[in-house]
Amino acid sequence: MAAQTTTAASPQEGSKPASTWILPVLAAWVVPGGGHFLQKKTGRGALILASVGLMFFFGMFMRGMMFTPDKGDILTTLINYGGFICDIASGAFYFAAAMFGYAAPDMPGAVHDYGTKFLVTAGLLNILAMVDAYEIAIGKKD
Partner 1 sequence: MPKINLSHFEAAFLFALFTSVVMGITSKKTDKERLNYGAYCFACFLFALFAIGWIMKLGHG
Binding site for partner 1 (CB under 8 A): 44, 47-48, 50-52, 54-55, 58, 60-63, 102, 110-111, 114, 117-118, 121, 125, 128-129, 131-132, 141-142
Query: Which CB, 33 or 67, lies closer to partner 1?
Result: 33
CA–CA separation, 50 vs 71, rounded Å?
A: 34
CB of 77 to partner 1, least distance (A): 26
Residues 6+ apart with CB under 8 A from 86: 67, 119, 120, 121, 123, 124, 127
Closest to 48 (Cα-Cα) out of 122, 135, 119: 122
* Minimal distance, residue 123 CB to partner 1, in Å: 12
Other C-beta atoms lying within 10 Å of the C-beta of residue 124: 15
CB closer to partner 1, 78 vs 111: 111
Q: How far is the CB of 23 from partner 1 (least distance, A)?
A: 19
